[in-house]
Amino acid sequence: MGVKITESVTWVGIRDWELRTFHGEEYSTHRGSSYNCYLVRDEKTALIDTVWSPFDKEFVANLKKEIDLNEIDYIIINHGEVDHSGALLQLMNAIPETPIYCTKNAATSLKGQYHKDWNFNVVKTGDKLSLGKKELIFIEARMLHWPDSMFTYLTGENILFSNDAFGQHYATEEIYNDLADQCALYQEAIKYYANILTPFSALVTEKIKEVLSFNLPLNMICTSHGVIWRDNPAQIIEKYLSWADNYQENQITIIYDTMWDNTKKMAEAIKKGIRAADSEVVIKLFNAGKTDKNDIITEVFKSKAILVGSSTINNGILSSVAGILEMIKGLAFKNKKAAAFGSYGWGGQAVKIISNLLKESGFELINEGKKVMWTPDENALKECEEFGAQIAKAF
């Protein structure tokens, strides 16, 4: 059933309690997600976004309980990705002539995905659509996080429908930010930014400053995933500006995988050395083969430095470490330092491979790394502690 959030706006989305991965298997959703969409009623009625296709029939059935579908005058698609547009086929079968308002890139995307030439109305920043007493104002938001993305602002109610921006993959019955579990909300918000929006940080800052320059009053931010920001909605905008500004905390994250625990022993000794040299820094240790990759990326995002370790295998590195390094490279982190470490039996190439990958990913290498042959003995572990101390002193 819908949830009335103002006199003219009703939430008509779907909560996906069972979702555990997103973007295929690329993004973990420990707390599920929601596909938020909204009915805006005035003299004219607009539907803003739809839901993912597995829920298309449920969505349309629920929508019919809220409104006669023929009374929907406009459909606004802020972003063409299937978790937002997936119910369009089902919906448009019922109201095929209803105009769809979206960006030029979104029209191209929707035609490419659904192979339908619906009644597309292309909009750009500053374009307006009158609903009667209120207007919808469109704001293009390219690469936040697709080329087709846009925001929609509702005058009178002072609501920004922000699509993916400011959202979280978080299914909760408490639809508003002030009612939600604050720890879970913050964790899912920073995880979402770290794993999805980091590569576009410069554009995030630029777009937020542009929107703020319009001096539009803001009562609420209605996202497409997670909670609606109604209590001090500016707080998440401030967080985004902070996260977009080469974000880091006083944290060092150690990531490793190990074949016979030798690299694990190195990692623990390095951690001991860091702690001995710096009692204040936060140190987090993760086995990449056993820890959720998106949770690791979130900690990388928060860190001022990362240490990455792997045993040498087949003249290369362990697959879990290779995978996390590929993710790190794609996210284009800025203003972070790094170093490599690892154990080996005869080849010993892992440290050099990791160092090169970290450098290619934009990290400043603290040193050439640390490698230990076979099982680290007492002297080798002492050297690893000294290596950790050197890391701590690099700041």
- Token pair 């978790």 in the structure block, residue: 83
- Which is catalytic among the residues 27, 49, 153, 225? 225
The H or E element spanning position 202 is: helix 201-213
- Which is catalytic among the residues 23, 58, 210, 360? 23
- Which is catalytic among the residues 192, 240, 247, 344? 192
- Amino acid letter at 276? A
- Which is catalytic among the residues 16, 27, 145, 153? 145
The rounded distance, in Å, linking the Cα atoms of 346 and 361 is 27
The rounded distance, in Å, linking the Cα atoms of 160 and 62 is 24
81 catalytically annotated = yes
225 catalytically annotated = yes
- Which is catalytic among the residues 49, 56, 81, 140? 81
- DSSP classification of residue 198: G
Query: Which residues are paired to 395 by β-bridges?
Result: none
CA distance to 135, 154, 255, 358, per residue, from 315 (Å) = 62, 58, 20, 18
192 catalytically annotated = yes
Written as one string, the DSSP assignment of 50-86 is: ---GGGHHHHHHHHHHHS-GGG--EEE-S--SHHHHT
Maximum pairwise Cα distance, the chain: 79
Please say whether the dihedral angle defined by the alpha carbons of residues 11, 229, 43 and 45, taken in this order, is positive or negative: negative
115 catalytically annotated = no
- Which is catalytic among the residues 16, 42, 74, 79? 79
> Phi-psi region for residue 301, left (φ > 0), alpha (ψ -120 to 50) or beta?
alpha
- Which is catalytic among the residues 56, 83, 257, 299? 83
CA distance to 133, 370, 375, per residue, from 276 (Å) = 65, 18, 23
Nearest to 288 by CA among 321, 263, 332: 321
Nearest-Å Rg of the Cα atoms of the chain is 24
79 catalytically annotated = yes
Is there a cis peptide before residue 23, judged by omega within 30 degrees of 0? no
The rounded distance, in Å, linking the Cα atoms of 16 and 54 is 10
- Which is catalytic among the residues 49, 157, 164, 299? 164
23 catalytically annotated = yes
- Lookup: tokens for 266: 């190195």
Q: Catalytic residues, which ones?
A: 23, 79, 81, 83, 145, 164, 192, 225
